[in-house]
Amino acid sequence: MVYKLPNEKEVVYGALDKRTTWETEFLVIAVSKALQILKKKVRCYIVAGEMSGGAVIIIGVAKTLS
């Protein structure tokens, strides 16, 4: 990526800044999706916990996660 740019400091640093920004945004999106999946799984555990009689402990954990 960098080797194709002109030999100017501002252009090279600008390209690197864009790349770093994209990587940061990608990480935030990935973490957000992971949290959404975790919340869905927690809801499933709440239902399973209520059926098995362990609802008090599992509901307490679910409230701290969501």
Task: Please give the pLDDT value at position 12.
Answer: 67
Report whether pLDDT(37) > 50.
yes
Q: What is the pLDDT of residue 21?
A: 65
pLDDT on residue 66: 47
Mean pLDDT to the nearest integer, 40-64: 55
Q: What residue numbers bound the domain in which 42 lies?
A: 38-66
Distance CA 62, CA 47 (A): 11
- Over residues 31-60, the mean pLDDT reads 63
C-alpha pair distances (Å), 23 with each of 32, 35, 39, 49: 14, 18, 24, 38
Number of domain units in the chain: 1
pLDDT at 38 over 70: yes
Residue 65 is assigned to a structural domain of this protein? yes
**Cα 19 to Cα 11: distance, rounded to the nearest angstrom:** 12
Residue 23 inside a domain? The answer is: no
CB distance 46 to 37 below 8 Å: no
Work out the average pLDDT over 26-50.
69
